[in-house]
């Protein structure tokens, strides 16, 4: 299932997930630090939604109170609430 999310407070601008049940099949990120985000996108493939939330939740970038990984966790929480 495709799920899209618009992050806030970070450089990345758009996340598009493909999630099968509770497993992430792909993540495409637009904007942000492309090398880092491509790496993160590869790491999360095959992972369970709850495991990614647990790993990424609360990660801070430059004292913004959030980060791209934290926004990914927020996106996945929104996904869970919508399904």
Instruction: Please state the pTM of the whole predicted model.
Output: 0.95
Q: What is the mean pLDDT of residues 13-39?
A: 96
Domain ranges of the chain: 2-82
Q: What is the mean pLDDT of residues 17-25?
A: 97
| CATH architecture label of 2-82 | 2-Layer Sandwich (3.30)
What is the Cα–Cα distance from 5 to 3, expressed in whole angstroms?
7
Q: Inform me whether the pLDDT recorded for 83 exceeds 90.
A: no
For residue 31 the two structure tokens come to 């904007």
CA 68-29-11 angle, to 5 degrees, is 45
């Amino acid at each position: 299932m495709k799920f899209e999310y618009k992050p806030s407070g970070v450089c990345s601008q758009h996340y598009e997930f493909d999630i099968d049940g509770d497993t992430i099949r792909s993540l495409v990120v637009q904007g942000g630090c492309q090398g880092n985000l491509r790496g993160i996108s590869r790491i999360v493939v095959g992972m369970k939604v709850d495991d990614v939330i647990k790993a990424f939740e609360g990660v801070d970038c430059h004292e913004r109170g959030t980060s791209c990984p934290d926004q990914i966790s927020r996106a996945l929480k929104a996904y869970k609430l919508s399904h």
